[in-house]
Chain A
Amino acid sequence: DVKVTQSSRYLVKRTGEKVFLECVQDMDHENMFWYRQDPGLGLRLIYFSYDVKMKEKGDIPEGYSVSREKKERFSLILESASTNQTSMYLCASSFPLLTTGDLANTGELFFGEGSRLTVL
Chain B
Amino acid sequence: QKEVEQDPGPLSVPEGAIVSLNCTYSNSAFQYFMWYRQYSRKGPELLMYTYSSGNKEDGRFTAQVDKSSKYISLFIRDSQPSDSATYLCAMSAGNYGQNFVFGPGTRLSVLP
**Which residues of chain A have a CB within 8 Å of any CB of chain B?**
4, 31, 33, 35, 40-45, 48, 56, 58, 90, 92, 96-97, 99, 101-102, 106-109, 111-114
B98 at the interface (CB under 8 A from A): yes
Within the complex, which residue of B8, B43, B98, B105 is in contact with A90, where a contact is CB–CB below 8 Å?
B43
Q: Is the CB–CB distance between A48 and B97 below 8 Å? A: yes
Q: How far is the CA of A109 from the CA of B92 in the complex (A)?
A: 12
Beyond contacts A106-B32, A113-B41: 4 other A-B pairs, Cβ-Cβ < 8 A, are A107-B32, A107-B100, A109-B44, A114-B42
Against A, the Cβ 8 Å flags (1 = close, 0 = not) of B73-112 are: 0000000000000001010101101111011110000000
Query: Residues on B close to A: CB < 8 A?
Result: 4, 6, 8, 32, 34, 36, 41-46, 49-52, 88, 90, 92, 94-95, 97-100, 102-105
Q: Choose one: B42, B46, B95; the contact of A109 (CB below 8 Å).
A: B46
CB-based contact A112/B32 at 8 Å: no
B97 near A56 with CB under 8 A, answer yes
Residue on B nearest A45 in the bound complex, by CB: B99
Contact yes or no, B43 A107, CB < 8 A: no
Beta-carbon contact of A101 and B51 below 8 Å = yes
Complex Cα–Cα for A111 and B43 (A): 5
Given contacts A48-B97, A97-B94, A107-B32, contact A42 B42 (CB under 8 A): no
* Residue from B4, B32, B42, B52 in contact with A97 in the complex, judged by beta carbons closer than 8 Å: B32
Q: Which of A33, A99, A114 gathers the greatest number of chain B CB atoms within 10 Å?
A: A99
Which 8 pairs between the two chains have the least Cβ-Cβ distance?
A111-B43, A42-B104, A102-B51, A43-B102, A99-B94, A97-B98, A42-B102, A108-B46
